[in-house]
Structure 1
Amino acid sequence: MEQGMGSESIPVSGSVDKTRILNIKPLRCLVPMFPPSPDLSSFSSPQSASFVCAPPTGPFPPGLSPFYPHSFSNPQPTPMAGPYGVNETIPSPVPLNSFRTPMPSSRPANGHARGGGSRKKSSARVTVTDEDEPSDSQDQSEQYFGVDSEDVSRVGSRRKGSQRAAKSGRVVNASSSPEVDLETLVSNFLSRFDLSGITSLKRDEGDRDYVGYVLMVFDLLRRKISQLDDSMGVSRPDLKAGATLMAKEIRTNAKKRVGSIPGVEIGDIFFFRMEICVVGLHAPSMAGIDYLSLRTSDEDPIAVSIVSSVGYGDNDEDGEVLIYSGQGGNMNRSDKDMSDQKLERGNLALEKSLHKGNEVRVIRGLKDLANPTGKVYVYDGLYKIHESWVDKGKQGHAVFKYKLLRIKNQPEAFTLWKSIQLWKDNISSRAGVILPDLTSGAENLPVSLVNDVDGEKGPAYFTYFPSLKYAKPFTSLQPSPSCSCKGGCQAGDANCHCFQKNGKSLPYTLFGIVLSINSLIYECGPSCLCPLNCRNRISQAGLKFRLEVFRTKDRGWGLRSWDPIRAGSFICEYAGEVIDESTIDSFVRENEDDYVFDATRSYDPPESMRSMSTGSPKIPFPLVISSKNVGNVGRFMNHSCDPNVYWQPVIRENNNESYLYIAFFAIGHIPPMSELTYHYGTVTSGNVEQRKKKCLCGSSKCRGYYY
């Protein structure tokens, strides 16, 4: 799918008055193309003279006016109707920074501190390895408070009186209704999935599809358990979800092996150690070294995988070399508890692997910038141990050190992350950059325009706008009272109208992860009294990931992220101009281009989510959006028959007027630099065959065409 773009001259930050902006035409060459002034009659239109260029400071052709930022004529704003008033005005083509929506708070005040190695009793406790080293993982617990509507009558929102029940795996709600058995809730939840295909063969050896399916079940179950922790005190839903799947043998690659793991690719990312366990990449949920014993006379163990954590003293500055610290010795404890590390268990296995020369899988634990106390785990491929020695720790105790070298000719993983960090520090280090920020400051984060494929200097002109432009809103089907939650919407608050409209639940976790699938989300509207960082305004907070519009090899322009994206995360809206309901049919017939989002099409849920989906998203109004002339980064997202992104309708109400939006969310974890794609849906009326287009998504599930 070939896409379009609009761009403006990029001034040096702080050097110009951004309130004074003119439309300008980019990018048919390295120097942007600019339109003639409105009063110029001797010049033809940009379409007929598409390669007219002028340097920013002149000299200018006869009759051509200076342009922004070197000219300070103030353009007239474009009137529009929007959720903040029919007479609202937004500057065109680039929204000013003052219209940028604020970022929500990144972490609740009562969030948990680090403590992955804690063994305190709770209802989420699981049996872990008996290794005596501290966990290399951080406490990934999340304080989510919402519950599904099907559970709200049984599960209360207050913690008081629930701790005693939690010890037995039961929940007592605030209204003294019968206790709820957590195991029953989990079993009922898992019954929605088709688990009949889990055989001993799948458990012992998976494939790409099955690994993805297991991870999807884990993530949705973890989110489900997370909703109960306000009433139960389940502080580690990730451990509870992992332990449940392990106990029910919903896992894969359970048989340990040397070398690569079927269905797991280099560069795959994980946000929880239990995810790594259920797919068989690394078996221990806490220990950093996984090993097995060879069936030989001396039963020598050999290492099969390690998790490298910078918090445990590992040196990961080099993308091809890793200096790994051994286990044991209680190095992270108080001085009196420290001791020399011993050549046993994992340390012995690494030493034996040095002499046997077997491959060792390496998983790198990196800081999660979206969650300062969390980590992202990156599978970095296969290494071999080159040498070992004994070093002295900070307190003088013996520490085993192992030097591992990455096997050549493997895809980039950790080295790619290091490159991305360099790009963030210095955009000029990114090869092929055409524009550092094609939004000209309209978004929270810059969006780079990059072409390292061919000589194309940019897509066709359009006006960048971060949200929808309504000619008129929809009329609410029923009264739409606003919430009065001055401190932000909270689950269980019977007085919160937004909580009630969402089926007595909140659609997002405190970290902005969506909890519903293909259902209508009611977000807080302009007249709600909650703050702009309310957890029920996730899609209004702008971009949270550093995105890049890039030139693909055979499908025009596409979209990808420099940052890792966690499953369920909001990515962006689909912005553009809302087509009037009375003209939708004629517009769709006459506009068969790639810049239309038609929410009335049939959208089958992604295969990995069909167990949890009820089919196409249910929209209350027929919504069609044109992004041909006005749009945001969403217009660059290409079609795929096996997408990693899906959309949901989001409605914001204001004084009995409804504004319907399209929000994109991640299906699963998306590694950096992976193209973001969604399914365009299927035309249900008209001449379907004439709208059929050849699909070049390249996925194993490609049907060969799309509409």
Structure 2
Amino acid sequence: MAENLKVCRVACIATVDQLETLCRQEGVLCAKLGINKHNLGDYDVEYLCDYKRKVITDGKKQTELFLVKWKGFPQSMNTWEPRKNLKCIDLLNQFWEDLNAEMQRQKKRSAPRRLDPATASFLVQRAKLRQTLKLWEVHLNSLGTHKGHIYVTNKVDLEGPPKNFTYINDYKVGDGILLNEVSVGCECTDCLNCPLEGCCAGVSQHKFAYNEIGQVRIRPGLPIYECNKRCRCGPDCPNRVVQRGIRYSLCIFRTDNGRGWGVRTMERIRKNTFVMEYVGEIITTEEAERRGHVYDKEGATYLFDLDYVDDEYTVDAAHYGNISHFVNHSCDPNLQVYNVFIDNIDERLPRIAFFATRGIKAGEELTFDYKMKIDPVDAESEKMDSNFSLTGLPGSPKKRMHMECKCGVSTCRKYLF
């Protein structure tokens, strides 16, 4: 019996929600599902479909009625319920937010006594979209190993999760490309204060990149060499920053000015702090050239050239990528690109990391410059700046179209490429 799920055996085609609905329909009590004699008659509201105000018999008072889609039941069993019967405060607030936004779009001051079919249909689509985005949000967070949470929201239109896109947390290496992994690591026990032979950065004749709280302290254009899996130091080593992944809660949101999806931070981010990597497929420049012709027609900008030494490889985040896939361009960005080397020592294949150029407030959109330039301060950064200015960041020479910039800052260049 359902009262004892330890001995109950059902096929895996039924979810817990479906079992709960079935128990309520059949009047079965089940402690494991939280169904008792006091709440047996309670049903969950999936979403609200419609609204109307009904005049009471005395002709003066009105009552608000909502058309309810019940969780686990078909739409044919939707019922009109008075406000007093509904305990779903969040769903009610969301319904009013959607309705008020639609009334503003229709240039109406308030909701009518009865909604027209087109408005009611739109509200149902908004509710279903919210469910779809919530499922996507749960999926994204089930894949992540980072500390922060990924939120997803769309208050602008009815666009759902991107099609033909797979979320990944590490690079997907293309055919014929081999990563040259490190064979040795440092012997340091305190990489920041007592580095042996300069630790990993020193062995590569570069400066230690971070301070004691993980903020980058070297100039843009200089490479970062982090400790690797063969190093003696542990996971809390101050020279392990990018490899620990995203530490902040971020939100993928729909922009309201035609820029598609964007990313905002839900937390304050300190200046020079690591935010995220640009992750995607590693492909050859020849393959990137071929794909670039296709992306030109779509107006996409997902090709990021790995040209620290030679322009041989590109990261393509169009179909495989992480949250950086949704980060937009700005001519006045708050993210800066650094080349990072960890377990792979092939200088043709750096990892691309974004660090905050300044303090970023909670709720602020994250952006980087697709055509970033670096002020040359030495031979190495001058070389790197030349490569970046020739190729741009995501896919510049492969982007042959003049793409309009919509970043909206006062220093906007008007075009991305």
Q: TM-score range by the shorter chain?
A: 0.5 to 0.7
For residue 664 of structure 1, report the CA deviation from its aligned partner.
0.4
Deviating more after overlay: 651-660 vs 676-685: 651-660
Equivalent residue number for residue 143 of structure 2: 442
Cα distance per residue 1:469-527 (max 9 Å; x no partner) = 22333558xx8642123x45234523354041464532112211011122111112232
Give identity over the alignment, percent: 29
Change (3 A) 1:484 1:594: farther
- Asked if residue 704 in structure 1 is aligned to residue 414 in structure 2, the reply is yes
Equivalent of 1:473, from 168, 178, 189? 178
Partner of residue 543 from structure 1, selected from 238, 242, 246: 246
Partners of 2:399 and 2:324 in 1: CA distance: 26
- Structure 1 residue 598 and structure 2 residue 299: aligned? no
> 3-state SS of the aligned residue for 1:550?
strand
Q: Contact 2:180–2:345 (CA<8 Å) still a contact in 1? A: no
- Equivalent residues of 1:639, 1:678 under 8 A apart: yes
CA distance in 2 between partners of 1:655 and 1:502 (Å):
10
Counterparts of 2:171 and 2:228, CA distance in 1: 14
Instruction: Determine the C-alpha separation between the residues in 1 that align with 2:400 and 2:235.
Output: 45
1:187-202 alignment runs, 5 A limit: none
* Matching residue's letter, 2:361: P
**Structure 1 residue 681 corresponds to structure 2 residue 371:** yes
What amino acid is aligned across from residue 401 of structure 2 in structure 1? R
- Answer with 460-469 or 565-574: which moved more: 460-469
Structure 2 equivalent of residue 489 of structure 1: 191
Give, in whole Å, the separation in 2 of the partners of 1:553 and 1:489: 46
How far is the alpha carbon of 1:461 from its aligned partner? 4.0
- Report the CA distance shift for 1:542/1:687 in structure 2 as closer, same or farther (over 3 A): closer
1:577 corresponds to 2:281: yes
2:362 paired residue number: 672
Unaligned runs of 5+ in 1: 1-10, 13-29, 32-55, 60-430, 602-617
1:625 is aligned to: 315
User: Distance between the aligned counterparts of 1:678 and 1:563, measured in 2?
Assistant: 18
If each structure's helix is expressed as a fraction of its own residues, which one has the higher value? 2
In structure 2, give the amino acid aligned to 1:442.
Answer: L
Kept after mapping to 2: 8 A contact 1:481/1:497: no
Query: How many angstroms does 1:620 deviate by?
Result: 5.7
**What are the Cα deviations for residues 199-231 of structure 1, in whole angstroms up to 9, with x where unaligned?**
xxxxxxxxxxxxxxxxxxxxxxxxxxxxxxxxx
| SS of 2:360 mapped into structure 1 | coil
In the aligned structure 1, how far is the partner of 2:159 from the partner of 2:295?
25
| Alpha carbons 1:450, 1:551 under 8 Å: kept | yes
Question: In the TM superposition, what is the alpha-carbon distance from 1:459 to its structure 2 partner?
Answer: 2.7
Counterpart-to-counterpart distance in 2, 1:687 and 1:624: 12
Q: Does 1:564 align with 2:268?
A: yes
CA apart distance, 1:702: 0.6
Alpha-carbon spacing, 1:631–1:654, altered in 2? closer, same or farther (3 Å): closer
Q: Aligned partners of 1:594, 1:491: CA distance in 2, in Å?
A: 45
Note if contact 1:561-1:675 (Cα within 8 Å) is conserved in structure 2: yes
Q: Is the 8 A contact 1:558 1:638 kept in 2?
A: yes
For residue 646 of structure 1, what is the aligned residue in structure 2? 336
- CA distance 1:492–1:533, change in 2 (3 Å): closer
Whether the 8 Å contact between 1:693 and 1:706 is mirrored in structure 2 is: yes
Task: Give the Cα separation in 2 of the matches to 1:538 and 1:548.
Answer: 21
Query: What's the Cα RMSD here?
Result: 3.5
Q: Distance in 2 between matches of 1:519 and 1:563?
A: 28
Contact 2:292 2:399 survives alignment (8 Å): no
Which TM-score applies when normalising by structure 1?
Answer: 0.34
- The answer (yes or no) to whether the contact 2:223–2:339 under 8 Å persists in 1 is yes
Which residue matches 2:87?
A: none
1:576 is displaced (CA, Å) by: 0.9
* Structure 1 residues 689 and 484: CA distance shift in structure 2, 3 A: closer
CA distance in 2, matches of 1:699, 1:439: 31
Residue in 2 that maps onto 1:613: none
Query: 1:335-484 to 2 correspondence within 5 Å?
Result: 434-435=133-134, 436-443=137-144, 444=146, 445-471=148-174, 472-475=177-180, 481-484=184-187
Cα shift readout 1:117-169 (whole Å, capped 9, x = no counterpart): xxxxxxxxxxxxxxxxxxxxxxxxxxxxxxxxxxxxxxxxxxxxxxxxxxxxx
Is the deviation greater in 528-537 or in 665-674? 528-537
- The structure-2 alpha-carbon separation of the partners of 1:695 and 1:484, relative to structure 1 and needing over 3 Å to count, comes to same
1:625: Cα distance to partner? 1.0
Match of 2:93 in 1: none
Q: What displacement does 1:637 show?
A: 0.4
Are residue 505 (structure 1) and residue 207 (structure 2) matched?
yes
Which residue number corresponds to residue 635 of structure 1?
A: 325
Q: Give me the whole-angstrom Cα distance separating, in 1, the residues matched to 2:202 and 2:399.
A: 44
**TM-score, normalization by structure 2:** 0.56
C-alpha contact 1:595 1:626 (8 A) present in aligned 2: no
Per the alignment, in what secondary structure is the counterpart of residue 691 of structure 1?
coil
Cα distance in 2 for partners of 1:660, 1:497 equals 19
Equivalent pair of 1:619/1:649 in contact (CA under 8 Å): no
| Number of positions where the alignment pairs a residue of Structure 1 with one of Structure 2 | 266
Q: Is the 8 A contact 1:651 1:658 kept in 2?
A: no
Amino acid at match of 1:539: V
Higher relative contact order (CA 8 A, sep 6+): 1
Q: Structure 1 counterpart of 2:276, which letter? A: C
Distance 1:622 1:537, change over 3 A: farther
- In 1, the alpha carbon distance for the partners of 2:313 and 2:236 equals 27
Paired residue secondary structure (2:290): helix
Query: Counterpart of 1:703 in structure 2: which amino acid?
Result: R
Amino acid at match of 2:270: R
Are 1:464 and 1:631, in contact at CA under 8 Å, matched by a contact in 2? yes
Contact 1:446 1:547 in 2 (8 A): yes
Cα distance in 2 for partners of 1:470, 1:587 equals 16
- The gaps in structure 2 that reach 5 residues or longer are 1-14, 17-45, 48-70, 75-128, 373-388
Question: 1:501/1:594 Cα in 2 relative to 1: closer, same or farther (>3 Å)?
Answer: farther
Which amino acid in the other structure matches residue 645 of structure 1? L
The residue correspondences of 1:648-663 to structure 2 (distance < 5 A) are 648-654=338-344, 660-663=350-353
Matches within 5 A, 1:266-285: none
Q: Is the 8 A contact 2:191 2:199 kept in 1?
A: no
Whether the 8 Å contact between 1:473 and 1:658 is mirrored in structure 2 is no
Q: CA deviation at 1:630?
A: 1.2
SS of the residue aligned with 1:653?
A: coil
CA distance in 1, matches of 2:149, 2:271: 22
Equivalent position amino acid for 1:457 in 2: G
Shift of the 556–475 alpha-carbon distance from structure 1 to 2, 3 Å rule, reads: same
Per the alignment, in what secondary structure is the counterpart of residue 342 of structure 2? strand
Post-superposition shift, 1:586?
Answer: 3.4
Letter in 2 for 1:704: K
